[in-house]
Protein backbone atom coordinates (compact mmCIF):
# COMPACT_ATOMS: atom_id res chain seq x y z
CA UNK A 1 0.00 0.00 0.00
CA UNK A 2 1.16 3.47 -0.86
CA UNK A 3 1.41 5.92 2.01
CA UNK A 4 -1.34 8.64 1.97
CA UNK A 5 -0.37 11.84 0.27
CA UNK A 6 -0.12 14.76 2.69
CA UNK A 7 -2.80 17.43 2.30
CA UNK A 8 -1.53 20.68 0.98
CA UNK A 9 -2.95 23.74 2.79
CA UNK A 10 -2.99 27.38 1.75
CA UNK A 11 0.25 29.20 1.99
CA UNK A 12 0.33 32.50 3.80
CA UNK A 13 0.83 34.35 0.52
CA UNK A 14 -2.20 32.63 -1.07
CA UNK A 15 -4.34 33.50 1.94
CA UNK A 16 -3.26 37.13 1.79
CA UNK A 17 -4.06 37.26 -1.93
CA UNK A 18 -7.58 35.93 -1.28
CA UNK A 19 -8.13 38.46 1.49
CA UNK A 20 -6.90 41.24 -0.79
CA UNK A 21 -9.30 40.17 -3.55
CA UNK A 22 -12.22 40.10 -1.13
CA UNK A 23 -11.28 43.57 0.13
CA UNK A 24 -11.18 44.92 -3.42
CA UNK A 25 -14.58 43.41 -4.20
CA UNK A 26 -16.07 44.94 -1.05
CA UNK A 27 -14.56 48.30 -1.99
CA UNK A 28 -16.12 48.07 -5.44
CA UNK A 29 -19.54 46.99 -4.15
CA UNK A 30 -19.84 49.42 -1.23
CA UNK A 31 -20.46 52.57 -3.34
CA UNK A 32 -23.11 50.71 -5.31
CA UNK A 33 -24.83 49.57 -2.11
CA UNK A 34 -24.70 53.11 -0.74
CA UNK A 35 -26.26 54.47 -3.93
CA UNK A 36 -29.07 51.93 -3.72
CA UNK A 37 -29.73 52.83 -0.09
CA UNK A 38 -29.68 56.56 -0.87
CA UNK A 39 -32.09 56.06 -3.76
CA UNK A 40 -34.45 54.04 -1.55
CA UNK A 41 -34.35 56.73 1.16
CA UNK A 42 -35.05 59.46 -1.38
CA UNK A 43 -38.00 57.48 -2.72
CA UNK A 44 -39.44 57.13 0.77
CA UNK A 45 -38.93 60.84 1.47
CA UNK A 46 -40.70 61.63 -1.80
CA UNK A 47 -43.61 59.38 -0.88
CA UNK A 48 -43.95 61.10 2.49
CA UNK A 49 -44.00 64.47 0.74
CA UNK A 50 -46.69 63.19 -1.61
CA UNK A 51 -48.84 62.17 1.35
CA UNK A 52 -48.42 65.65 2.84
CA UNK A 53 -49.66 67.14 -0.42
CA UNK A 54 -52.72 64.89 -0.45
CA UNK A 55 -53.45 65.69 3.21
CA UNK A 56 -53.16 69.41 2.48
CA UNK A 57 -55.78 69.20 -0.24
CA UNK A 58 -58.00 67.05 1.97
CA UNK A 59 -57.95 69.55 4.85
CA UNK A 60 -58.58 72.41 2.44
CA UNK A 61 -61.58 70.58 0.97
CA UNK A 62 -62.88 69.70 4.43
CA UNK A 63 -62.67 73.16 6.04
CA UNK A 64 -62.58 75.43 3.00
CA UNK A 65 -59.24 76.92 4.02
CA UNK A 66 -55.70 75.85 4.83
CA UNK A 67 -54.36 75.87 8.40
CA UNK A 68 -52.34 78.81 9.71
CA UNK A 69 -48.60 78.28 9.79
CA UNK A 70 -48.64 78.02 13.59
CA UNK A 71 -49.71 79.78 16.75
CA UNK A 72 -47.99 83.04 17.64
CA UNK A 73 -46.04 81.30 20.43
CA UNK A 74 -45.77 77.89 22.02
CA UNK A 75 -48.91 77.22 24.05
CA UNK A 76 -50.72 80.35 22.80
CA UNK A 77 -54.08 79.62 21.14
CA UNK A 78 -54.77 80.80 17.61
CA UNK A 79 -57.25 83.68 17.98
CA UNK A 80 -60.90 83.70 16.95
CA UNK A 81 -61.67 84.26 13.30
CA UNK A 82 -59.79 81.30 11.86
CA UNK A 83 -62.61 78.78 11.80
CA UNK A 84 -61.79 75.28 13.05
CA UNK A 85 -58.21 76.29 13.78
CA UNK A 86 -59.08 78.91 16.40
CA UNK A 87 -58.38 78.14 20.04
CA UNK A 88 -55.49 75.74 19.42
CA UNK A 89 -51.77 76.31 19.87
CA UNK A 90 -50.85 74.02 16.99
CA UNK A 91 -48.68 74.17 13.90
CA UNK A 92 -50.17 73.25 10.55
CA UNK A 93 -48.49 69.83 10.79
CA UNK A 94 -50.54 69.10 13.91
CA UNK A 95 -53.74 70.07 12.09
CA UNK A 96 -52.76 67.64 9.32
CA UNK A 97 -52.55 64.65 11.71
CA UNK A 98 -56.11 63.32 11.07
CA UNK A 99 -55.42 63.51 7.34
CA UNK A 100 -52.24 61.38 7.52
CA UNK A 101 -53.86 58.57 9.50
CA UNK A 102 -52.82 60.02 12.86
CA UNK A 103 -56.28 60.89 14.14
CA UNK A 104 -55.76 59.15 17.48
CA UNK A 105 -52.74 61.31 18.25
CA UNK A 106 -54.64 64.43 17.25
CA UNK A 107 -57.50 63.53 19.58
CA UNK A 108 -55.05 63.13 22.47
CA UNK A 109 -53.54 66.59 22.04
CA UNK A 110 -54.46 69.41 24.36
CA UNK A 111 -55.45 72.86 23.14
CA UNK A 112 -51.94 74.16 23.76
CA UNK A 113 -50.58 71.23 21.75
CA UNK A 114 -47.19 70.57 23.33
CA UNK A 115 -46.84 67.08 21.87
CA UNK A 116 -43.14 67.57 21.29
CA UNK A 117 -42.07 64.05 22.30
CA UNK A 118 -44.27 61.98 19.98
CA UNK A 119 -42.40 60.72 16.89
CA UNK A 120 -44.64 60.81 13.80
CA UNK A 121 -43.18 58.69 10.99
CA UNK A 122 -45.28 60.56 8.42
CA UNK A 123 -43.14 63.64 9.09
CA UNK A 124 -39.76 61.92 8.86
CA UNK A 125 -37.35 61.47 5.96
CA UNK A 126 -35.06 58.45 6.55
CA UNK A 127 -32.20 60.21 4.75
CA UNK A 128 -31.91 62.86 7.48
CA UNK A 129 -28.43 62.52 9.04
CA UNK A 130 -29.14 64.83 11.95
CA UNK A 131 -31.77 63.07 14.04
CA UNK A 132 -31.70 59.96 16.21
CA UNK A 133 -34.67 57.70 15.49
CA UNK A 134 -36.85 60.72 14.88
CA UNK A 135 -35.58 62.71 17.84
CA UNK A 136 -33.56 65.88 18.08
CA UNK A 137 -29.83 65.58 18.73
CA UNK A 138 -29.40 69.09 20.12
CA UNK A 139 -29.93 69.82 23.80
CA UNK A 140 -33.54 68.62 23.59
CA UNK A 141 -32.90 64.97 22.85
CA UNK A 142 -36.34 63.75 23.92
CA UNK A 143 -38.19 65.97 21.44
CA UNK A 144 -39.51 64.58 18.16
CA UNK A 145 -38.46 66.28 14.95
CA UNK A 146 -40.00 66.69 11.53
CA UNK A 147 -38.13 66.73 8.24
CA UNK A 148 -40.61 68.80 6.28
CA UNK A 149 -40.92 72.57 6.30
CA UNK A 150 -43.91 74.70 5.35
CA UNK A 151 -43.61 77.81 3.20
CA UNK A 152 -44.41 80.86 5.33
CA UNK A 153 -45.31 82.81 2.18
CA UNK A 154 -48.22 80.40 1.75
CA UNK A 155 -49.38 79.54 5.28
CA UNK A 156 -48.55 82.73 7.25
CA UNK A 157 -49.81 86.28 6.77
CA UNK A 158 -46.80 88.18 5.54
CA UNK A 159 -48.87 91.31 4.87
CA UNK A 160 -49.58 91.60 8.58
CA UNK A 161 -46.38 89.99 9.79
CA UNK A 162 -48.12 87.25 11.76
CA UNK A 163 -48.42 83.47 11.54
CA UNK A 164 -52.19 83.36 11.06
CA UNK A 165 -52.58 82.83 7.35
CA UNK A 166 -55.88 81.92 5.75
CA UNK A 167 -54.75 80.56 2.39
CA UNK A 168 -57.13 78.61 0.20
CA UNK A 169 -56.58 76.26 -2.72
CA UNK A 170 -56.70 77.51 -5.43
CA UNK A 171 -57.96 81.03 -4.64
CA UNK A 172 -54.85 82.51 -3.02
CA UNK A 173 -52.41 80.90 -5.47
CA UNK A 174 -52.55 83.63 -8.08
CA UNK A 175 -49.48 82.19 -9.81
CA UNK A 176 -51.10 78.74 -10.09
CA UNK A 177 -50.82 75.87 -7.64
CA UNK A 178 -48.50 73.84 -9.92
CA UNK A 179 -45.91 76.63 -9.85
CA UNK A 180 -45.64 77.21 -6.10
CA UNK A 181 -43.60 75.30 -3.52
CA UNK A 182 -45.54 74.76 -0.32
CA UNK A 183 -43.25 72.21 1.39
CA UNK A 184 -39.55 71.42 1.35
CA UNK A 185 -37.26 69.13 3.28
CA UNK A 186 -35.27 70.23 6.33
CA UNK A 187 -32.87 68.74 8.85
CA UNK A 188 -34.29 67.71 12.20
CA UNK A 189 -31.28 69.24 13.98
CA UNK A 190 -29.48 72.20 12.47
CA UNK A 191 -26.52 74.21 13.77
CA UNK A 192 -23.43 76.04 12.57
CA UNK A 193 -21.18 76.48 15.60
CA UNK A 194 -19.88 72.93 15.82
CA UNK A 195 -21.69 72.38 19.11
CA UNK A 196 -25.00 70.53 19.37
CA UNK A 197 -25.80 72.50 22.52
CA UNK A 198 -26.41 75.57 20.34
CA UNK A 199 -28.13 73.77 17.45
CA UNK A 200 -31.80 74.23 16.62
CA UNK A 201 -34.43 71.52 16.47
CA UNK A 202 -37.13 71.32 13.82
CA UNK A 203 -40.01 70.09 15.98
CA UNK A 204 -43.16 69.24 14.03
CA UNK A 205 -45.53 70.91 16.51
CA UNK A 206 -43.50 73.75 17.98
CA UNK A 207 -44.87 77.28 17.53
CA UNK A 208 -41.90 78.61 19.48
CA UNK A 209 -40.60 81.77 17.85
CA UNK A 210 -37.21 80.23 17.06
CA UNK A 211 -38.04 76.60 16.22
CA UNK A 212 -40.98 76.82 13.86
CA UNK A 213 -41.15 74.03 11.22
CA UNK A 214 -41.10 76.46 8.33
CA UNK A 215 -38.94 78.33 5.83
CA UNK A 216 -38.98 81.89 4.49
CA UNK A 217 -38.96 83.26 8.02
CA UNK A 218 -36.37 85.69 9.36
CA UNK A 219 -34.57 86.19 12.65
CA UNK A 220 -33.32 82.66 13.31
CA UNK A 221 -36.45 81.10 11.82
CA UNK A 222 -38.90 82.90 14.07
CA UNK A 223 -40.22 86.11 12.52
CA UNK A 224 -42.79 86.41 9.75
CA UNK A 225 -41.69 89.16 7.35
CA UNK A 226 -44.08 91.99 6.55
CA UNK A 227 -43.17 91.80 2.86
CA UNK A 228 -42.15 89.00 0.50
CA UNK A 229 -38.35 89.22 0.18
CA UNK A 230 -36.77 86.90 -2.36
CA UNK A 231 -36.58 83.45 -0.82
CA UNK A 232 -32.96 82.32 -0.29
CA UNK A 233 -31.76 79.09 -1.89
CA UNK A 234 -31.71 75.78 -0.06
CA UNK A 235 -28.65 73.87 1.16
CA UNK A 236 -27.62 70.42 -0.05
CA UNK A 237 -25.98 68.02 2.41
CA UNK A 238 -24.67 70.59 4.90
CA UNK A 239 -22.95 69.33 8.01
CA UNK A 240 -25.70 69.55 10.61
CA UNK A 241 -23.38 70.78 13.37
CA UNK A 242 -20.98 73.11 11.54
CA UNK A 243 -22.62 74.51 8.39
CA UNK A 244 -26.40 74.10 8.65
CA UNK A 245 -28.38 77.30 8.03
CA UNK A 246 -31.61 77.21 10.05
CA UNK A 247 -33.20 79.93 7.89
CA UNK A 248 -33.23 77.92 4.66
CA UNK A 249 -34.36 74.40 3.68
CA UNK A 250 -31.72 71.67 4.03
CA UNK A 251 -31.62 68.65 1.73
CA UNK A 252 -30.25 65.26 2.83
CA UNK A 253 -29.95 64.13 -0.81
CA UNK A 254 -27.14 64.49 -3.32
CA UNK A 255 -27.81 66.93 -6.14
CA UNK A 256 -30.98 68.70 -5.04
CA UNK A 257 -34.05 68.76 -2.80
CA UNK A 258 -37.52 67.21 -2.77
CA UNK A 259 -40.36 69.77 -2.76
CA UNK A 260 -44.13 69.58 -2.63
CA UNK A 261 -46.16 71.90 -4.86
CA UNK A 262 -49.54 73.50 -4.34
CA UNK A 263 -51.31 71.13 -6.71
CA UNK A 264 -50.21 68.14 -4.60
CA UNK A 265 -47.44 67.03 -6.94
CA UNK A 266 -43.84 66.38 -5.88
CA UNK A 267 -40.63 67.10 -7.74
CA UNK A 268 -36.89 66.98 -7.22
CA UNK A 269 -35.38 70.44 -7.70
CA UNK A 270 -31.79 70.29 -8.91
CA UNK A 271 -29.03 71.97 -6.94
CA UNK A 272 -28.15 74.12 -9.94
CA UNK A 273 -31.47 75.97 -10.06
CA UNK A 274 -31.02 79.74 -10.18
CA UNK A 275 -31.73 81.83 -7.11
CA UNK A 276 -34.28 83.82 -9.12
CA UNK A 277 -36.24 80.76 -10.19
CA UNK A 278 -36.31 79.37 -6.66
CA UNK A 279 -37.51 82.71 -5.27
CA UNK A 280 -40.29 82.97 -7.86
CA UNK A 281 -41.40 79.39 -7.11
CA UNK A 282 -41.73 80.23 -3.41
CA UNK A 283 -43.92 83.32 -3.84
CA UNK A 284 -47.57 82.48 -4.56
CA UNK A 285 -48.62 86.02 -5.50
CA UNK A 286 -45.79 87.79 -7.34
CA UNK A 287 -47.33 87.21 -10.78
CA UNK A 288 -43.94 86.38 -12.27
CA UNK A 289 -43.52 83.44 -14.70
CA UNK A 290 -40.98 80.81 -13.76
CA UNK A 291 -37.75 80.89 -15.79
CA UNK A 292 -36.75 78.04 -18.08
CA UNK A 293 -34.61 76.23 -15.50
CA UNK A 294 -37.68 75.32 -13.42
Residue 7 within any structural domain of the chain: no
Does 4 fall in a domain? no
Per the structure, the complete domain to which residue 31 belongs is given by: 13-282
Contact 135, 144 (CB under 8 A): yes
Residue 3 lies in a domain: no
Burial class (CB in 10 A: 0-12, 13-18, 19+), 28: exposed
Give the DSSP H or E segment for 93: helix 92-95
Q: What span, in angstroms and rounded, lies between the C-alpha atoms of 255 and 198?
A: 28
Q: How many domains are there within the chain? A: 1
> Is 294 within a domain?
no
What predicted TM-score, i.e. pTM, was given to this entire model? 0.87
In a domain, 108, yes or no: yes
pLDDT, residue 27, reads: 77
Residue 67 lies in a domain: yes
Q: Kindly give the confidence (pLDDT) of every residue in the chain, 294 residues in length, as a single tens digit, with 9 standing for 90 and above.
A: 555 555 555 677 777 777 888 888 777 766 666 676 777 888 999 999 999 999 999 999 999 999 999 999 888 999 999 999 999 999 999 999 999 999 999 999 987 766 778 999 999 999 999 999 999 998 777 899 999 999 999 999 998 899 999 999 999 999 999 999 999 999 999 999 999 988 999 999 999 888 899 999 987 778 999 999 999 999 999 999 999 999 999 999 999 999 999 999 999 999 999 999 999 999 999 999 999 999
Determine the pLDDT at residue 32.
62
Amino acid sequence: MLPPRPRRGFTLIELLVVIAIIAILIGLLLPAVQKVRAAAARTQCTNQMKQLGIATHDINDTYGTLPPLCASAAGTPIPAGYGPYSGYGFTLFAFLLPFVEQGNLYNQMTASGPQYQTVVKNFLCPADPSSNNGRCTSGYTSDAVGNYLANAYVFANCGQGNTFGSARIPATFTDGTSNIIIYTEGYGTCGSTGSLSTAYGNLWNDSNSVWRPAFNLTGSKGTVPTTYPLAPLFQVLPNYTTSCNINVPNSPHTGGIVVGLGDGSVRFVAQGISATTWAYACDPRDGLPLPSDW
